[in-house]
Structure 1
Amino acid sequence: MIEIERKFLVTSDAFKAEAFAQNRIKQGYLSSVPERTVRVRIKGSKGFLTIKGISNESGMSRFEWEKEIPAADAEKLLLLCETGVIDKTRFEVKSGSHIIEIDEFYGENEGLIMAEIELKSETESFKKPIWLDKEVTSDKRYYNAYLSKNPFKSWLHP
């Protein structure tokens, strides 16, 4: 239940031609404090409740627990969430033996395209596609919980 992932900015939409799946995602936070974020998500036609702990020093690893819930329940829980629902499309691209998830954001976070890759260890290597740019793993501004309160469009210098 420890999630290890790295995050990168994306330089172009070339990933879209490589994507084998895509889903619209709407998510909100019942709690966005770093020590325990509680997220409600609707991904496609499915609902999810996720609890994440605080990240380690590198920003790569943290506790994560996720449970699928009925989409109707997720819709109701979204009404209880803190201000700032995230709206995005997630594209999935195969890269070697890994899946890279690329999020294209809408609304107040429009203009931000970010990729995540889950790894088995913090030192595991992976094939890096040409459209992956600057790594932002340890930059907390790129956490969705942060973006829900401090949208990308409001940043002076992203």
Structure 2
Amino acid sequence: MILLAEVSHAEEIHGTMMAAFEEYRSSNTPSSALEETPNTIRTALKNGEEKAFLFWKEKKVVGAVRFREQEELLYFFRLSVRPEERGRGIARQLLAALEVYAASRKLFKLQCQVRVSVTKNIALYTQNGFCLTDRKTVSKLNGTRVETAFMTKELNG
């Protein structure tokens, strides 16, 4: 079951995100997702800066995606599925929920930014109708640079 998160769900969002992003901890440029805290998520939800969908299975959050409305699109980030739940269509269902939400808000594009080096994520988005629309090099605080791609999906209006 997919539900819109409440501020009180910050711990569940954080726990799911940490489990999902743990595999990147040992990379040369670990994901900044690993530096977030329940409090940073709680504050963003409380201030209305972002929203999140939660995928519940047997009273436990096993998937989450955070998002924000921008001028003409819905930008999402930190799409997270617990490793033991992957391969069951949870990410695809969360993407579908984003599409429905975007349409209800008269937003006709979904967009995210992914690391070019994480080809499985680019493949996931491509299989779900997204196209690579731009590239950007992100400079991390430690001086390393990460090549990223913007993936965009046009929605029928």
Structure with higher RCO (Cα < 8 A, 6+ apart): 1
More helix by share: 2
TM-score where L is the length of structure 2 = 0.31
